[in-house]
A and B are shown apart, each in its own frame.
Chain A
Amino acid sequence: MRPARFGEHQMQHAGTPGWEHFRHIADIGVRGCGRSLAEAFEQVALAMTAVILDPAAVACGESLQIEVSASDHELLLTEWLNALIYEMATRHMLFARFEVEIRGDILKARAWGEAIDVARHQPAVEIKGATFTELRVSRSEDGLWRAQCVVDV
């Protein structure tokens, strides 16, 4: 799987892989789009980092592995994002590059990033959890996968 790119703030063209944020009044929605389910999950993880800071500001020197499982794609998405939130909180790290592999109910991933440096990174906000609000994983007619949910900040 090709590693996810540093996305622009908005997806440049409909129908191409990338990520974007969508509106939720108190919090923020994260959406990833990819040619495969795994790529959509990589992009949505980038969208989540972009809630905190510009992913381009994160050096990707360290990495760790994550494995989660769930009975459907939507729960798998919240499990994936919540696993990243947990690693960010307990390791005091930020991540900006992701490689995801999904087989059946199981997601295996590697996330690259670095330790938080508050002065340099100026993180805007801390993410509490990925929610079921606006939670959707689907494949559209153009063949692209879209994965999205609201994150509580």
Chain B
Amino acid sequence: MQLTASATDSPFVWRIEPHGKMRVPGIIYADRLLIEAMDQKVFEQVRNVATLPGIQQAAYAMPDAHWGYGFPIGGVAAFDPDEGGVVSAGGVGFDISCGVRTLHTGLTLADLVPHKKALADLLEVTIPAGLGSTGALRLGHHEMERMLSGGAAWAVQQGYGSEADLLRTEEHGCMAGADPSQVSERAKRRQRGEMGTLGSGNHYLEVQHVAQVFDSATAAAFALRADEIVVSIHCGSRGLGHQIGTEFLKSMAIKAQDHGIWLPDRELACAPIGSHLGQSYLGAMRAGINCALANRQILTHLTREVFADVFPGAHLTLLYDVSHNTCKRETHAVDGKRKQLFVHRKGATRALGPGHPDLPDGLSAVGQPVIIGGSMGTASYILAGTQRSEGLAYSSSCHGAGRAMSRHQATRQWQGREVLKDLERRGILVRSPSLRGVAEEAPGAYKDVGRVVDAANEAGLSRKVVRLEPLICVKG
């Protein structure tokens, strides 16, 4: 029998009523076209997440949801430790705290154009990208421990950026509760040469311009002006996060039975929040979040050095840094009662609304910047958190376009060299070590990010502020 999501009173909300072992309903935010194009696996995965112990209210999926590991990518679910709630390594994913940050440059399109090629060339040689690339920084044992505890705050202490950057990073740049002793030696070894590297796949550094302003008051509060040049960096916790994910996924799958947890899919591997394994994972995963924050902070520093060379006097400030693969302890209202919950966001962005106490001065009045990365050669968007989103999906929104086509299909359809030429004709310079990688990431292989963002906007998950168009893209 085909599992489907049913329409509701709102054209942007779809429901899977509880059946079988589901403890709560599934709720998917999307428009009709997106839901019709959604992989059947998304519905199965939403249903499976809804069976996990201690889940609160509903298993949610964002408009960009697609087939993931256990959880759909674009999945949000919260668990109450007092009701046997679980923490899931699959619910966070392999790339712990993968995220995006956007930097203001103070430059305009007219400033950039004459120097575009020089900037692209210098970024290419400065930003380590792709398989086999290493960063200039190699961490010894003690420094690795400090980085895992300190995150972006550690990086700033090392001279990579300023305190002002931390105010514009989730958790003020340092995830509390990280326990580096729970991170294996193998994970640390895998990270040794990878600090300040971009990675590969859909990770990128893009130079973009503000092409369209939807909400000028909020754009002004974000200090975004039409034609301004910004830089967006999309990457995560590199080898360390991947190794933590790999190891805990296995341990949680093996231990599930001992914990009395029935898993509809091994990839949903999880452990009770209060269990030894659950606590151990939380300590390691938070260290992974710090690794990602430190990594993006170092890449920010490298970007600033490049801009200082090409545009002497340019001052790059951080608009905001979001993470989209995390599990965080947060307070939310459930049936009118305030509860401490462990909120999993797998390919979903935290999106705090106006007035939230965790927002810094300057953002409190308008809400958190929600950065939605497009694919190579397509638009990205900056949205703002809404108060409504708290009641919709624990203040969460979508995270990107999501693939519409597999890598294999993409390489059959496009040649890397042609993709590069086509993008160059459109004024977009791509720098990548791999032509096959470029073909696999061709713009046509992704869903229409504009449609995803419109659905998030209409559903009330966050609201559109500006659209960014790419000019230079450094890919792994």
Contact = CB atoms under 8 A, between A and B. Distances in A.
A131 B131 contact: no
Given A28-B408, A90-B190, A118-B132, A126 B199 contact: yes
B408 A152 contact: no
Given A25-B67, A86-B243, A129-B242, A124 B434 contact: yes
A133 B267 contact: yes
Given A53-B436, A118-B130, A132-B267, A125 B407 contact: yes
Contact of B69 (A89, A92, A124, A132): A132
Contact of B407 (A71, A116, A126, A153): A153
A25 to B, nearest CB: 5
A124 B409 CA distance: 14
Interface string B120-144: 0000000000111110000000000
A86 B190 contact: yes
B440 interface: yes
Given A25-B403, A26-B73, A129-B242, A124 B436 contact: yes
B131 to A, nearest CB: 4
A102 interface: no
A75 B132 contact: no
B433 A26 contact: no
Nearest to B436: A124
Interface string A22-45: 011111100000000000000000
A132 B266 contact: yes
A60 interface: no
A54 B43 CA distance: 35
Contacts, number: 126
Nearest to A131: B69
Interface centre among B69, B265, B269, B403 (most CB of A within 10 A): B69
Contact of A153 (B201, B245, B250, B402): B201
Interface string B62-99: 00001111100100000000000000001001110000
A73 interface: no
Interface in A71-86: 71, 75, 78-79, 82, 85-86
A144 interface: no
Interface residues of A, number: 39
Contacts of A153: 200-201, 407
B239 interface: yes
Contact of B239 (A21, A89, A118): A89
Given A23-B408, A75-B250, A126-B130, A132 B73 contact: no
Contacts of B39: 25
A124 B254 CA distance: 33
B436 A128 contact: no
Contact of B94 (A52, A71, A128): A128
A15 interface: no
B242 A128 contact: yes
Interface centre among B131, B199, B246 (most CB of A within 10 A): B131
B6 to A, nearest CB: 23
A23 to B, nearest CB: 5
A130 B68 CA distance: 13
B434 A123 contact: yes
B69 A133 contact: yes
Contacts of A130: 246
Contacts of B440: 124-125
The 6 closest A-B pairs by CB, nearest first: A116-B132, A124-B436, A123-B131, A126-B131, A128-B242, A132-B266
Given A125-B476, A133-B69, 19 more contacts: A25-B66, A26-B66, A27-B407, A85-B242, A89-B190, A90-B192, A92-B134, A118-B130, A122-B435, A123-B130, A123-B131, A124-B434, A124-B436, A124-B440, A125-B437, A126-B201, A128-B94, A128-B245, A152-B69
7 contacts: A25-B403, A26-B66, A51-B407, A75-B253, A121-B132, A123-B132, A124-B440
